[in-house]
Amino acid sequence: MSDLQRPPASGAAWADESDRDRAPARPREHTVVGGDWQELPNVVDDDLMIINMGPQHPSTHGVLRLVLTLDGERILDTRPVIGYLHTGIEKNLEYRPWVQGVTFVTRMDYLAPLHNELAYCLAVEKLLGITGDIPERASALRVLLTEFNRVASHFVWLATGGMELGSTTAMIFGFRERETILDLFEEVSGLRMNHAFIRPGGIAMDLPDGFVPRARTAISALRDRIGEIEDLLTENPIWIERLTGVGLLTAAQCLDWGVTGPVLRSAGVAHDLRKVTPYCGIEQYDFHVPTTDTADAYGRYLIRMEEMRQSLTICEQVLDSLPEGAVMVADAKIAWPAQLALGPDGIGNAQEHIDRIMGKSMEALIHHFKLVTEGFTVPEGQVYAAIESPRGELGYHVTSSGTNKPYRVKVRDPSFLHIGVLPTMSHGLQVADIIVAVASVDPVMGGVDR
């Protein structure tokens, strides 16, 4: 632990008294370096208290552990501890064919499963060199699904954040509206979460019949509900008071720490990968990137609410201009051989396909077998593909050694980087405020630990 990080020996080091009861207007410069856990503050002489918030705590978004050094209710030091949800997904990817990777990555940031799938697939497609061959309909549906997913993720953020601030109604509202979107996802992919629906080369199957009008109804319903939530919270004096000036992080600090997403945009930087490096033809839709200059939790709240509206606008435009055609690349050496269909026992391989490989064509059977068990090979090389997930830049650095499995998949998960700035954001706040600060960066531990 460096000297900068060490809490002052007595209360005297605080600039002045007004500093004590309110967060400083300018965030305190604060260095966090890799520290030695043997070095602990002198709790006895300095009247400090070290408290473990988490890994089992109602407000740490799963299993984040924060070791807080407290002076009364003031936080002098925060040390985030991660690893309690380590799943080994990144390592596991190296032992599975490329297509099966989708099933793994969707479980990392479990609130944005489709974003993980999309970023992974974009990277694999880049390696395969088929980025230009993806059918337009597949790209449009990818945009539709990921934008819906963004709204669902923001609803969970609202629900958990509201719950942590004691607003149970916000919690119920958030989860209730999210169900609308999960129902749509279930209709499309058969699963509410962890869809493994976006595959290298396209998407697993086309939309079911009658999906478009139902999606339109859902969008208009969601618009109303977002308005309802805004009525409840945006002007609520306690809500404003709890969020304003909490979790300050300036634009410079955001850039230095690699912070992206709503946290960066709340500091006034209109950086959104959908605009900066558009993917899946998202540049043809009309939307704007909301920003605020407050750099605090309230700004992030406003940004997320507006982003939900913008995402719904995108979804509407996709539905309006949905191109016809295939949803998977034409290359039969990459495209999954079978189309899925609803059978008497649930979703499975389409009956015609089974008839064909089992009854008519030996070559088709061999092809199916090879592609399903062994998978396709990907040329040697390494690429980085990034998209704008609900939490920020979600990047996949994928290396291939030319085999049917990845050599290495390194994920740049925004939550991981955002956990790193918690000490900076929470320095000098109160215990109640760190809850708001954590909620405002919206970390998902599944993505952090991988």
Q: Are strands 406-412 and 392-400 parallel, antiparallel or unpaired?
A: antiparallel
Q: How far is the CB of 391 from another protein (least distance, A)?
A: 21
Which residues does 304 contact at the CB level (< 8 Å), separation at least 6?
Answer: 154, 157, 158, 262
In the bound state with another protein, the residue whose beta carbon lies nearer, of 121 and 229, is 229
Q: How far is the CB of 339 from another protein (least distance, A)?
A: 39
How many angstroms separate the CA atoms of 241 and 239, rounded?
5
Q: Say how many residues make up the chain.
A: 450
In the bound state with another protein, the residue whose beta carbon lies nearer, of 162 and 190, is 162
In the bound state with another protein, the residue whose beta carbon lies nearer, of 242 and 391, is 242
In the bound state with another protein, the residue whose beta carbon lies nearer, of 242 and 418, is 242
Is 22 strand, coil or helix? coil
Angle subtended at Cα 247 by Cα 241 and Cα 251, rounded to the nearest 5 degrees: 120
Tokens of 415: 């939550």
How many angstroms separate the CA atoms of 148 and 315, rounded?
7
Burial of 26 (0-12, 13-18, 19+ CB in 10 A): exposed
Q: How far is the CB of 432 from another protein (least distance, A)?
A: 5
Q: How far is the CB of 258 from another protein (least distance, A)?
A: 9
Q: How far is the CB of 32 from another protein (least distance, A)?
A: 8
Is 32 in contact with 5 (CB distance < 8 Å)? yes
Is 206 strand, coil or helix? coil
In the bound state with another protein, the residue whose beta carbon lies nearer, of 4 and 221, is 4
What is the CB neighbour count within 10 angstroms for residue 372?
13
Sheet holding 65-71: strands in order across?
49-53, 65-71, 74-81
In the bound state with another protein, the residue whose beta carbon lies nearer, of 423 and 446, is 423
Q: How far is the CB of 418 from another protein (least distance, A)?
A: 15
Q: How far is the CB of 52 from another protein (least distance, A)?
A: 8
Tokens of 286: 């009309």
In the bound state with another protein, the residue whose beta carbon lies nearer, of 164 and 296, is 164
Q: How far is the CB of 239 from another protein (least distance, A)?
A: 5
In the bound state with another protein, the residue whose beta carbon lies nearer, of 49 and 340, is 49
Is 66 in contact with 53 (CB distance < 8 Å)? yes
Could you list the residues that contact another protein (CB under 8 A)? Answer: 4, 16-18, 21, 29-31, 33, 49, 51, 57-59, 73, 162-170, 172-173, 176, 232-233, 236, 238-239, 241-242, 252-253, 256-257, 424, 430-433, 435
Q: How far is the CB of 38 from another protein (least distance, A)?
A: 21
Residue with tokens 């489709």: 114
How many angstroms separate the CA atoms of 53 and 20, rounded?
22
Spell out where 371-438 has E strands: 381-389, 392-400, 406-412
In the bound state with another protein, the residue whose beta carbon lies nearer, of 285 and 301, is 301
Is 104 in contact with 249 (CB distance < 8 Å)? no
